[in-house]
C-alpha cells in the first residue's frame, strides 16, 4: 500500500501535501501551493491537475482545492464538513438562514443547500451534491455572528437571534415563514427576545418586524411592553406573511400582515 501511494503521489506531490499538513490546511489555493513549492504557477497547476486525476485533491472552484486524506481511499470518496468548506469559499462569511436554523435544532427541514451570508457577491457552487448559496447582505446587516467549534476548527455562524431575524426577512431562504416561527417556538428557552427585537430594528426590514410581531403574539411569547416596541417599528403598509406568496388573504390589522397561508396550518406543527 505504501509503495502504491508513493507511486501515485510522486515526490513533489508528497512534499506539497506534507507542507500543507504541517500548516494545518485542508483547503488551499494555487498561490499557497506555489509559495510552498517555490515553483512557477504553470508547473504548480500541472501538478495539481495530476493530483486531482489521481484522487489526492479535489478542485472546489477556480484556484482552490480540497485535500482528500488517506481515509478517503484511492477513489477519493471524502468531503470535509460543509461548514468548514463554506468558510474557505468566501470571506467574510457566516452560516445563515435555514442552515443555521437547522444547526440550532429549530428546524428539521432537509435541504441540499448551504446558505452562507456574506458582504461579497459570489455565484452558487455545487460540491459533493451540496449547493452553496451565497446571500449578499450590506455591511450594516452583517452582524450578530458568533463562532462555534467544529472538528477542531472555529466556524462563523449567525447567532440564534440573528438567524430568526434573517429568516423572517427572507422566509424563502428558511424553507418558509413557518420555519422561522419554529425558531421562535423551539428556541423560546434560549432566545433573548429583547435582543431579538433589537436585531430586527437594526436589520432595517419593517416587513420582518411585522412578521415578528405577528408570530410573537400568535405564539404567546413576550409581554405587552415588548410587543409595543415591535409595533412601533412596523410600517403602515401591509406585508405578506409568506414570501414568496400571493398578496391576498385575511389581514391582521395590528401587525399589518397579509395572512397568505392557510389559517389551519399556522400552528398545526406544534402538535407534532
Report which of 198, 187, 182, 193 is spatially closest to residue 232, judged by C-alpha positions. Answer: 198
Work out how many domains the chain is built from and give that number. Answer: 2
* 244 and 109 share one domain: yes
The model's pTM is 0.78
Residue 229 included in any domain: yes
Average pLDDT over residues 154-175: 96
Confidence check: pLDDT of 121 > 90:
yes
CATH of the domain at 39: 1.10.10.10
What's the burial of 2, exposed, middle or buried (CB within 10 Å: 0-12/13-18/19+)? exposed
Confidence check: pLDDT of 176 > 60:
yes
Residue 186 included in any domain: yes
The pLDDT, as a whole number, for residue 74 is: 42
Max mean pLDDT range (73-77, 102-106, 192-196, 261-265): 192-196
Residue 77 included in any domain: no
Domain around 104 = 82-271
The pLDDT, as a whole number, for residue 108 is: 83
Final residue in a domain of this structure, among 72, 98, 122: 72
- Flag the least confident range among 42-56, 117-131, 256-270: 42-56
The residue count for the chain: 272
Mean pLDDT across the chain, nearest whole number? 88
* 50 and 135 share one domain: no
The pLDDT, as a whole number, for residue 190 is: 93
Confidence check: pLDDT of 6 > 80:
no
pLDDT in tens, 209-267: 999 999 999 999 999 999 999 999 999 999 999 998 889 999 999 999 999 999 888 99
* 68 and 86 share one domain: no
Contact between 87 and 114 (Cβ < 8 Å): no
Average pLDDT over residues 36-46: 83
* 51 and 141 share one domain: no
The pLDDT, as a whole number, for residue 8 is: 63
The pLDDT, as a whole number, for residue 103 is: 93
- Flag the least confident range among 56-60, 134-138, 212-216: 56-60
Contact between 90 and 148 (Cβ < 8 Å): no
Final residue in a domain of this structure, among 72, 95, 113: 72
* 189 and 246 share one domain: yes
Amino acid at each position: 500500500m505504501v509503495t502504491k501511494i508513493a507511486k501515485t503521489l510522486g515526490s513533489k506531490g508528497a512534499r506539497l501535501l506534507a507542507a500543507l499538513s504541517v500548516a494545518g490546511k485542508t483547503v488551499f489555493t494555487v498561490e499557497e501551493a506555489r509559495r510552498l513549492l517555490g515553483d512557477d504557477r504553470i508547473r504548480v497547476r500541472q501538478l495539481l491537475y495530476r493530483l486531482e486525476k489521481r484522487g489526492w485533491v479535489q478542485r472546489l472552484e477556480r484556484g482552490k482545492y480540497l485535500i482528500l486524506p488517506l481515509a478517503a481511499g484511492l477513489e477519493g470518496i471524502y468531503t470535509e464538513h460543509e461548514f468548514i468548506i463554506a468558510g474557505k469559499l468566501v470571506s467574510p462569511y457566516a452560516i445563515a438562514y435555514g442552515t443555521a436554523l437547522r444547526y440550532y435544532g429549530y428546524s428539521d427541514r432537509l435541504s441540499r443547500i448551504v446558505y452562507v451570508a456574506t458582504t461579497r457577491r459570489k455565484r452558487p457552487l455545487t460540491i459533493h451534491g451540496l449547493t452553496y448559496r451565497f446571500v449578499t447582505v450590506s455591511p450594516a446587516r452583517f452582524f450578530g455572528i458568533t463562532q462555534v467549534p467544529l472538528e477542531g476548527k472555529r466556524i462563523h455562524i449567525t447567532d440564534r437571534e440573528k438567524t430568526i431575524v434573517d429568516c423572517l426577512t427572507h422566509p424563502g431562504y428558511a424553507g418558509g415563514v413557518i420555519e422561522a416561527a419554529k425558531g421562535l417556538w423551539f428556541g423560546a428557552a434560549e432566545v433573548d427576545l429583547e435582543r431579538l427585537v433589537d436585531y430586527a430594528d437594526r436589520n432595517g426590514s419593517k416587513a420582518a418586524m411585522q412578521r415578528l410581531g405577528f408570530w410573537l403574539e400568535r405564539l404567546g411569547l413576550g409581554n405587552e411592553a415588548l410587543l409595543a416596541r415591535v409595533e412601533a417599528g412596523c410600517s403602515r403598509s401591509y406585508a405578506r406573511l409568506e414570501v414568496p406568496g400571493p398578496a391576498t388573504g385575511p389581514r391582521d390589522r395590528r401587525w399589518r400582515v397579509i395572512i397568505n397561508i392557510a389559517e389551519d396550518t399556522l400552528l398545526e406543527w406544534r402538535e407534532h
